[in-house]
Chain A
Amino acid sequence: MSMGSSTKVSSSALDIERIRKDFPILKRRIHGKPLVYLDNAATTQKPQQVLDALAHYYEEDNANIHRGVYQLSTAATEKYDTARQKVSSFINARASHEIIFTRNSTESINLVAQSFGRSNVSTDDEIVITHMEHHSNIVPWQLLCEQTGAQLRVAPIDDRGQLKLDELERLINSRTKLVSLVHLSNSLGTINPVAEIVQIAHQNDVPVLVDGSQAAYHMPLDMQSLDCDFYVFTGHKLYGPTGIGVLYGREALLEKMPPYQGGGDMISSVTFDKTTYAELPNKFEAGTPHIAGVVGLGAAVDYINSIGFDRIMSHEQDLLTYGTTELSAVPGLQLIGTADRKASILSFVLKGVHPHDVGTIVDTEGVAIRTGHHCTQPVMERFRVPATVRASVAMYNTRDEIDVLVRALFKVREMFPI
């Protein structure tokens, strides 16, 4: 793994101007103003390196994988397999066949719910999640509970948006079949102590799934030190293409799990009497996969590695600190989610103004932020707000952009005085 290009960056600081040049969309103007893109928790923008990899794949290497004996198919297969190895090293998995490609985090969770869940969970068993989960880590388990008669247990959070660890621990018992929780909350920014939770769960022989959709682009991931059993994330939040997601699973568990979907490429042999399934990872990748997406994801991983998470994290933490201070100057602004361990997600409400009005007004200043419940309605209910405004920061954002946001919020205040 190459960590950072030291040729252009002499210090450990992030070369923000160089990075911004890598993202063509950042040159766009919205309503005549420079785009200030602060909706990275929804999806991140794509660097030229990823766009080039996609174009190059279709222009030079396109063929179906695992099929032909001809050179082009071999080249496509090689690219696909190489990208899997890149993703495997990116999260420090033990082996690349522990990486399963899916459409997105949602599909990864559904795969585990239906494959692992249906073969391990039965009536009166329990699945433990937390109050800060995205709908994608709630609904698949509700479906599983409906199918099996199992119960969903929800670990509460405190007023700052932090998980109540002791209560989570109390929920784990002999009926618990899985703990599934988010690594980094998309609506609060909270970073959960995943390694500690995994330890608690493992003491009770309970496997843990971690939803890393947000964590994957904010912090380095190490499956060996986290020691979780499943980890899911998605390419499009990782500066990669849409439509490509990842499920990491511990080999021993994946081996025991039945296939999620049946079709081509996931079999070893098919007769009308009996079909035998392919080895990992193919067992879980039925049909022609999103080959270009996988290649693009590999390029995104290369890109992140070339910058280095040490630089990315210190830059984003600086923007979080700066943004938190600057936002507090806006009259009537209340942050939702003020955990001790937090990533660069600033969720807030403005007294007397609905988030959608905020969103429309700041958009006219070129600022793209998310307004709504962020697919975490239970979190909104917990904080008794219908919705929040969310500014989420990625590696290419700047202090100047935070200033533009804050000035735009003062304009909102002008129109909606307290």
Chain B
Amino acid sequence: MASVDQTMSDGHHGPARGITRWLYTTNHKDIGTLYLFFSLLMFFIGGCMALTIRAELFQPGLQMVMPEFFNQMTTMHGLIMVFGAVMPAFVGLANWMIPIMVGAPDMALPRMNNWSFWILPFAFTMMLSTLLMEGGGPNFGWTFYAPLSTTYAPPSVTFFIFAVHMMGISSIMGAINVIATILNMRAPGMKLMQMPLFVWTWLITAFLLIAVMPVLAGVVTMMLMDIHFGTSFFDAAGGGDPVLFQHVFWFFGHPEVYIMILPAFGVVSEIIPTFARKRLFGYASMVYATASIAFLSFIVWAHHMFTVGMPLAGELFFMFTTMLIAVPTGVKVFNWIATMFRGSMTFETPMLFALAFVVLFTIGGFSGLMLSIAPADFQYHDTYFVVAHFHYVLVPGSVFSIMAAAYYWLPKWTGHMYNESMGKLHFWLSFIGVNITFFPMHFLGLAGMPRRIPDYALQFADFNMVATVGAFIFGISQLLFVYNVVCCIRSGKQATDEVWEGSRGLEWQLSSPPPYHSYSTPPTAEQLSKASH
């Protein structure tokens, strides 16, 4: 190992110059940065689509867009936010932080790392280009249920399928890299149960990715074959079954949901102890809870299809397993609160986002629990109540945790402090915007508004107007974040190595910004013990 490091550090002392630095880079920090900027770009593209949707829904009647374009917007918004914004952002954080947190010089497989990032821009260019094709882009919802996405799909569906394949390959390569780094590159003396929780949640997430991204690849391959090669996986005429599509899709889809939230749990579990100046409560139970959530995610998929006409036994089974998820999730929330309890808390921007995460994610968890009750789900299914639920877990959940992580580690990444008041302003505008946008959606869903409709009955008008106002507040306030990040990269107060008073992990024992090859000599036993207490 020592000899390898020797050649690496002898080979190049720092980044190359110009565009080739980014194109050919195999450095985990450069690739992490690329991932993060890519996901920020996608966040804004997906966000513009969301604002198009909200603008159309500002008032009843058709004003801005026609229904066919509206459907393309809902579909693309979902696909881009899931595969383009949230997932790459977490991969970016993993790239930046995991090697440092386990005391390694870089990711285990740097060349593959470069490749797994550079696939993404091509995949998303292809996907976005479908909007300009004849017949329009994908218009069947991000869940692309057959036969709407096969027999009745626009011709561009083929490009959509290839784009999904490319994203899948990228995610799988990223996941393999993360696992190899965590299992093989840990600093001598660092046991699995001593790893930071962010590393733990990512290890479990990476296994989920490897388990389900191939299933997604399988299901889109079946679609491709149905469309072009005359098979009938999902066509009843040839002995297939459209419901099979939903089973296979949700076998991927439910673990996918946890792929987007487990790393968020990890981020929050790093931030809360730092700003509470107290060790994370129940480290071991956090790890076990994460693992049980991951396990349960494989046996709950059909709760997305309670209305599809399952036999009673099936409904009961999936209802019970789904309710069970509340237990490990509850344990995590309780642990975070126990961490804050009798701590010594301060409220810098990352902490504010993390606290908002705990509250709002839990609200999303409550509506999730309500949705798990099958008979009640018959009333909630495919309404705005569901839209409110998953936006509560994904926006103030995943997205807030990404924001929290960005503010938390920005001083480490750039060596400069960000502008704290602007960060706080960004937080409060986002917090208010998110709640004004998504809280009324609970009411809309309960009052009976179906999701994915471009126009609605008059009794839904008031709350839709409120939601649209909130969406624009949230959307526009994200520009503050971009401004803050850009300023922080260019200038700002010099950050110390620890950055935060309560910070402990290995990343805070490197300089800010850290050296190009993070831990080119493994951290000492003393450093490790400092990191874990």
Do A and B come together as binding partners? no
Q: Residues of A with Cβ closer than 8 Å to B?
A: none
Q: Residues of B with Cβ closer than 8 Å to A?
A: none
